[in-house]
Structure 1
Amino acid sequence: MSLMQTLVVPLLPDFPGLLGTSSDNASWLVTVTLLTSAVATPILSRLADMHGKRLMIVVSLLVLLAGSLLGAVSDSLVALIAARSLQGFAPALIPIGISMMRDELPPERIGGAVALMSATLGIGGAVGLPLSGVIYETFGWQAVFWGSVVMAAVMLVLVLVVVPESGVRTPGRFDWVGAILMSIALTSLLLGISKGGVWGWTSQWTLLSFTVAFLVFALWAPWELRTGEPLVDLRTSTRRPVLFTNIASLLAGFAMFANLLVATQQLQIPVASGVGFGLDVTEAGLAMLPGGVLMVLMAPVSAEVTRRFGARITLVTGLCITGFGYVVRVLLDATLAQLVLGVCIVSVGIAVSFAAMPVLIMQSVPISETAAANGLNTVVRSIGTSTCSATVAAVFAAGLVAGGYPSEAALHSMSWLAAGAAFLAAVVGFLIPARIAPVLATRPLEPGDTPAAVRADSVRRADVGTEVVVRGRVQRADGVPARLAVVSVLDRSGRQADWARADNDGRWSVVLPGAGEYLVICSAEGWAARSELRQLRPDAVPMLQLDHRLTVAGVISRGGWPIDDALVVLTDSSGESAGATRTDEEGHYEIGLPPLGRYVLTALDPRTGVAESEDVVISAQRRRFNLVLADLSEPEPSEDATSPSGPAPRAGASGPADGPGSLRW
C-alpha cells in the first residue's frame, strides 16, 4: 500500500509530456488515489467487521490488481486516472490487516506485529521513490504499473493460501446512507485541501468544496447517532481514548508527511541554490532509505515499550522524538550526512508513535468494531497528510527564491510547523487515559487457577482461534427494545472481555475468549443498571431485561395528608416541560428521569386550585422530592384515606413530620 502512495511521484514531472496534458491535470493521478482511499477505507473496514476480514482483503487486492492492469495497458490521462482511483482501494488493507492480527495472534505478539506492519509504511514509501524511478528510466512508465500487477497477484495468492478467515464477525445491516454521506463529505473536504493551493484558497471551487463538506457532515453526524448500526459509531469515537488518539493521529500524519516532502525536495534542489544537494530522484530515494530501515528495526523496540509501559507512553515518546528530530533538522542541515541524521531521528519517532495508535484504538472499542475503528483512524491520518501537503505547497510558494526554489527560511518554517504538530500531538497523547482495557481478554478464572496458567491458556486459545461471538438482546420492562443500551461482559476475576452497544432493535454482540460463565452488566439511559452472572455461548441468544426505570419521585401532601389526583409538572430552566403526571391515592408521583440538572417542580391541587413551585436540583444522589402544600381549610379526610407513610390518623391526630427532603410553601 505504501508503494502505491509513491508509485507515480517520480513520473509526475514527465507525465504532461508523455500524455499530452498539463501539470495540473497530471496531478490528479495522485489526488484521485487519495480521494478513493478516503472513501473506500471506512467502507471496506466496516464490511470486514460484518462479513469477514480476509474477504475484504481479497476484495482490496482484486481491485488493486484491476487498477494496476488498467494502468499498464493505458496511454491516456482519463484511463490512468481511473486506474489510480482503483489503486486507492489498497490502503484499506492496513486497518483490516491490523484487526485480523488481533483476532489471530497470541496477546503477547500483537504489539510487535502491529509495530512491524506500521513500520512497513515507512520503508515502503522510502523504497517506492528510488524503485519506481529506476524502473521508469530502464523499462518505461508502463513497467511501473506492471510491477504493481506482479506484487498484487503474488499478495493475492499468499493471502488465499496463508491467511485464515477470521471467525470474529458481526453480520447486520450496512449503513448505506451513512456511507454515501460520509463519502461525499470526505471527498469534498480532501478535494478542497489538496486542490486549494492550485485553485486558490478563496476561489469559488475551494470554498464550494469546504461548504459541501461542512453541510454534509452536519447531516451525517445526526444520522450516525440515530441509526442502530452506524458506519461509524460516533458515541464510541467521541470517548476520550478514541477521540484523543485520532486527534494525535491527525497531527502525527502531518508531521510524518512533512519528513518525506521537505527532505526529498531539499535533497533534489540544485547545489547552486545554496539550500539543496542536487541529487536525482533515485539518489534522493536512497538517501531516505536509512530512515525507512530504522523504522523496521524499531518495531520490536516500540512493541517492548508498549508491553512494559503501555501504548500511551509509547505514543508520547515517539511523538517527542519526532519533534526533536525536526529541531535537529533545522539546526543541522548544512551537509548531506546531517540532513540524513535528522531524517533518521524523525523516522524513529514516527515508527514508535505509529505502532502505538492501532493498539490504543483496539483497547478502547468493542472487539467487533476493531477494523472499522482502525479504518477511521487511517482516514483521519490521511487528512493530516493531505493538510501537510497543502501546507508545504503554500509555505514553499510564499518563500520562492530565484530559480523557483524554496528558500532556506521556507524549509525551516515547514520543519518548525512539523515539530509543533508533533509536540502538540504528544500533549494530546498525555490526555489519553492511562488505564485502558486489554486488547485480548483471558478466559474466566476457575478454582485453582494461577495467573500464569490463565495467561498460558489464553495464548493457547488465541493460537487455535477459539474466540466465540455471542449475540443477545436487551429490552425494557415494557417489552420495548432498549435502544443504545451498553452491555459489558467481564470474567469472574473482574477482567473485561468485551463490551457492546445495542442497536435500535436491542441487539448486541460481544467477542469472548470462549464459552463460559461471565458477569454481564447492562445499562441504558433512564433505566437502573442490571448485572447478573450468565452462561454465554454462541449457540444461545441471552435476553437481558431492564426492570426499573429511573424516575423523579416523591409525595404531594398537605398537613400530613396525601393529595390524590394532583397535577405534578417538571419544567427546565427554559420553561419547557420535562414531564407531567398525576398523583395516586397515596399522593405519590413518578416522572421519567430527565437529564441531571436544575428544574422547577410544580404541584396543583385539583380541589382547591392551589399551585406551588420549588426549584430542585436533580442529581445522581437525589431524585426524590416531597412537596407540602399550605394547609387551607379542607374537609376532614375520610376513614380510608392514607398518609404517605400508612393509614390516615383519626381527626385531631397530628400528621407525619416533614422528611429531610420536604419542601414547604
Structure 2
Amino acid sequence: MTAAPAQGRPTGTAPIRSEAHRLVPALLFIALVVAAVASLGTPLITSVATTFHVSLDSAQWTLTIALLSGAVATPVLGRLGAGPHRRATILTTLAIVVAGSTLTVLPLPFAWLLVGRAAQGVGLGLTALMMGVARDHLPEERSAATIALISVVSIIGAGVGYPLAALLAEFGGLRAAYGLGLLVTALALLAAWRSLPAAPAGRSAPVNVTGALLLAGGLLLVLFLAGDRSLWSRHLAGAVALAVAAVLLLCVWVVCELRTSTPLVDVRAVRHPAVAGANLAMFVGGSGMYLLLTLLTRYAQTPHSAGYGFGLTTFGAGLVLIPFSVLGFVAGKLTPRFRTRIDGPLLLAGSAVIVGGGFVLFATARSTVAELLTAMGVLGFGVGSFSAAMPGVILAVTPQSETSSAMSFNYVVRSVGYSLGSALGGLALAAGTPTGRLFPNDDAYTTAALLGVAAMAVTALAALALARRPAPETHPITAPPGVPGRGRSRRTGD
C-alpha cells in the first residue's frame, strides 16, 4: 500500500521533476556558498595582517569570529527553520550575510571587517535548513541523496573557496578576494528568493530565548578556549575559570531545555542511542578531520629553509586542496548508493578508517608534493563519505518536522570538534617548536598525525558500537491527511 505523501511535498511526477530541477541546485549552491565564504578567513590571514597593520593573532580572528557566530546562530536558525517562517528565515539570514560581505569589501577600519566576518559566519547555520527543505519538498529517495550532498558540500566548500580567494588576493589584493564573497552571497540570495518554497503549513516552532542565550554563552566560551591557544599558556587560571563557566552554562542550558515546552534542541531526542552515537562520532571525527586538513596546508607552505616542506604560496597551498574537494564530492555521490546495502553506522566506521589512512600516509610519506596530494585525496574521500552518511543515521530516527533542529545540533557538535582539532594541531606543533625557532621540527607533524590516528580509531569504534546495537524500531512517518506538516516517530513497544 502506498503511503500518503507528506503535506508540502509534490504529489505528481511532473511537479516533482519541475521542482527538483530548480530546488536541488539552489540548495547545493547555497550550502556551498555559505561554507566557502565562512572559510575565506583561512587563506587571507596574512593579507589581513599586512593590510590593516595588525598582528597575526588579531588577523586570526577574521576566521575565528565567523566560526563562533556560525556555531551560535546554527541552533537558533534550526529552530526557526522548523516553524512556519523557514523561507523568511533563510532569506533574512542570507541578507545578513550579504550585508556582512559588503562590510568586508568597503575601506573601513579593522573592527568593521570583524563585524562583517561575524555576519558572514551566521550563514553557516543555513546548512541544516537546506536539509529540512529537501526532506519536506523532495521525494524520499531524492531527498536522501540531496541531504547527503548538502552535508558534503558544506565541508568541501573550504576547498573550493580557498584557492579562489588566495588567487584573487595574490593578484587583486584583499578587497578583491572578499569581493568574491559578496558576489556569490548575492547570487545565493537571488537563488533562494527564486527557488525556495514555503514550509508546510501547520507547524509551530517558537524560539526559547533563555535557552538560546545560555547555549550561545556556553558555545562562545568553548570555542574561544579552543581557538585561543595562548590563553592556556599565559593565563592558565583564567582559562580554567572560563572553562568552568562554560560547563556550568551548558549544564544550566540542558536543564532549561528539559523543563521547557519549546526547547531550542530536543535534548531527549539527542539521548537516542543512534543520535547520541552519531554526534559523538561527529565530535571526535570532526576533530581528526580538521586536524589533518590544517596539518597538510601548513606543511605545504613551510619553506625549505626549515628542513622540510615545499614553500608553496597561499595560492599553491590552495591548489593542494583540489583533490580534497573533488574526491569528497565523488564520495558524496557514491555514499547514498552504498547506503542501500550497508548500514549508516558501518559507513561511518569505514569512512573513519579511510580518514585514518590519510593520517598514516601523511605520517609516513610526505617527502613529495605528489604524496601530499595523495594524502589530501584520501582525506577528501573519507570526509565526503563520512559527511554523506551522517545525516542518514540521525534522520532515520528524527521526525520530519524536526530535521533542521536535529541537524543544527549536529553541526554545532561539528563546529566544536573542528575547533578542538585545530587547537590540538596547534598545540602539537607548538610543543615541537624549539625556543627561538619559527617553525616546528618535522617530527612534530608526525606526533600530530598520530593524535589524528587515535581520534579516528575512537570514531571508528564508536560507529561500530552503534552498528552492533539492535536495529531501532523507530522510524519517521509522514503526517497523515488532515494533520499538516508534522512528521512523527512511531515506536513499537513503547
Give TM-score, length-normalised by structure 1.
Answer: 0.65
Separation (CA, whole Å) in 2 of partners of 1:199 and 1:330: 27
Q: How does 1:442-591 map to 2 (within 5 A)?
A: 469=484, 498-499=488-489
Q: Secondary structure at the match of 2:484?
A: strand
The aligned residue for residue 200 of structure 1 is: 233
Q: Secondary structure at the match of 2:46?
A: coil
The aligned residue for residue 624 of structure 1 is: none
Pick one of 397, 415, 422 that aligns with 2:456: 422
Q: Any conservation in 2 of the 1:118–1:355 contact (CA below 8 Å)?
A: yes
Report the number of matched residues: 458
Pick one of 103, 120, 136 that aligns with 1:87: 120
Q: Which amino acid aligns with 2:464?
A: F
Deviation (angstroms), 1:117: 1.9
Q: Any conservation in 1 of the 2:429–2:445 contact (CA below 8 Å)?
A: yes
Q: How does 1:601-640 map to 2 (within 5 A)?
A: none
Compared with structure 1, are the counterparts of its residues 438 and 126 closer, same or farther at alpha carbon in structure 2 (3 Å cutoff)? farther
Higher strand share: 1
Q: Which amino acid aligns with 1:407?
A: N
Q: Which amino acid aligns with 2:294?
A: L
Pick one of 325, 328, 332 that aligns with 1:295: 328
Pick one of 189, 203, 217 that aligns with 1:170: 203
Deviation (angstroms), 1:439: 6.8
Matched, 1:413 2:447: yes
Pick one of 337, 349, 356 that aligns with 1:316: 349
Deviation (angstroms), 1:522: 11
Q: Which amino acid aligns with 2:488?
A: D
Matched, 1:113 2:107: no
CA deviation string 1:337-382 (max 9, x = no partner): 1121111112111111111111111112222211111001000011
Separation (CA, whole Å) in 2 of partners of 1:139 and 1:114: 36
Separation (CA, whole Å) in 2 of partners of 1:437 and 1:9: 44
Compared with structure 1, are the counterparts of its residues 434 and 331 closer, same or farther at alpha carbon in structure 2 (3 Å cutoff)? farther
The aligned residue for residue 246 of structure 2 is: 213
Q: Which amino acid aligns with 2:407?
A: N
The aligned residue for residue 44 of structure 1 is: 77
Q: Which amino acid aligns with 2:165?
A: S
Separation (CA, whole Å) in 1 of partners of 2:451 and 2:234: 19
Matched, 1:435 2:471: yes
Pick one of 401, 404, 409 that aligns with 1:376: 409
- Structure whose alpha-carbon radius of gyration is higher: 1
What root-mean-square deviation, in Å, do the aligned CA atoms of Structure 1 and Structure 2 show?
A: 2.3
Compared with structure 1, are the counterparts of its residues 334 and 522 closer, same or farther at alpha carbon in structure 2 (3 Å cutoff)? closer
Matched, 1:230 2:263: yes
The aligned residue for residue 361 of structure 2 is: 328
CA deviation string 1:267-290 (max 9, x = no partner): 111123232011111111112201
Q: Secondary structure at the match of 1:133?
A: helix
Structure 1, unpaired ranges of 5+: 445-465, 472-496, 501-519, 524-665
Q: Any conservation in 2 of the 1:71–1:84 contact (CA below 8 Å)?
A: yes
Deviation (angstroms), 1:111: 3.0
Separation (CA, whole Å) in 2 of partners of 1:113 and 1:438: 23
Deviation (angstroms), 1:199: 5.3
Q: Any conservation in 1 of the 2:398–2:476 contact (CA below 8 Å)?
A: no
CA deviation string 1:286-311 (max 9, x = no partner): 12201211111122211111122222
Pick one of 379, 384, 395 that aligns with 1:351: 384
CA deviation string 1:17-70 (max 9, x = no partner): 321322222222122111111110000110110233332221221110010011
Pick one of 27, 30, 34 that aligns with 2:67: 34
Matched, 1:62 2:52: no
Q: Any conservation in 2 of the 1:364–1:437 contact (CA below 8 Å)?
A: no
Separation (CA, whole Å) in 1 of partners of 2:417 and 2:63: 16
Separation (CA, whole Å) in 2 of partners of 1:126 and 1:85: 20
Separation (CA, whole Å) in 1 of partners of 2:485 and 2:479: 15
CA deviation string 1:540-583 (max 9, x = no partner): xxxxxxxxxxxxxxxxxxxxxxxxxxxxxxxxxxxxxxxxxxxx
- Percent sequence identity is 28
Q: Secondary structure at the match of 1:499?
A: strand
Separation (CA, whole Å) in 2 of partners of 1:47 and 1:437: 29
Q: Which amino acid aligns with 2:392?
A: V
Q: Which amino acid aligns with 1:281?
A: T
Pick one of 127, 130, 133 that aligns with 2:163: 130
Q: Which amino acid aligns with 2:456?
A: A
Q: How does 1:173-188 map to 2 (within 5 A)?
A: 173-188=206-221
Separation (CA, whole Å) in 2 of partners of 1:403 and 1:168: 62
Compared with structure 1, are the counterparts of its residues 395 and 314 closer, same or farther at alpha carbon in structure 2 (3 Å cutoff)? same
Separation (CA, whole Å) in 1 of partners of 2:234 and 2:405: 32
Q: Any conservation in 1 of the 2:396–2:475 contact (CA below 8 Å)?
A: yes
Separation (CA, whole Å) in 1 of partners of 2:474 and 2:389: 14
Q: Any conservation in 2 of the 1:68–1:145 contact (CA below 8 Å)?
A: yes
Compared with structure 1, are the counterparts of its residues 68 and 120 closer, same or farther at alpha carbon in structure 2 (3 Å cutoff)? same
Separation (CA, whole Å) in 2 of partners of 1:121 and 1:259: 17
Deviation (angstroms), 1:110: 2.7
Give TM-score, length-normalised by structure 2.
Answer: 0.87
The structure with higher relative contact order (CA 8 Å, sep 6+) is 2
Separation (CA, whole Å) in 2 of partners of 1:350 and 1:262: 15
Deviation (angstroms), 1:100: 1.5
Q: Which amino acid aligns with 2:484?
A: V
Compared with structure 1, are the counterparts of its residues 443 and 164 closer, same or farther at alpha carbon in structure 2 (3 Å cutoff)? closer
Structure 2, unpaired ranges of 5+: 1-33
Compared with structure 1, are the counterparts of its residues 125 and 211 closer, same or farther at alpha carbon in structure 2 (3 Å cutoff)? same
Separation (CA, whole Å) in 1 of partners of 2:71 and 2:176: 27
Q: Which amino acid aligns with 1:420?
A: A
Pick one of 89, 108, 111 that aligns with 1:75: 108
Deviation (angstroms), 1:168: 6.2
Q: Which amino acid aligns with 1:106?
A: P
Deviation (angstroms), 1:220: 1.4
Deviation (angstroms), 1:418: 1.2
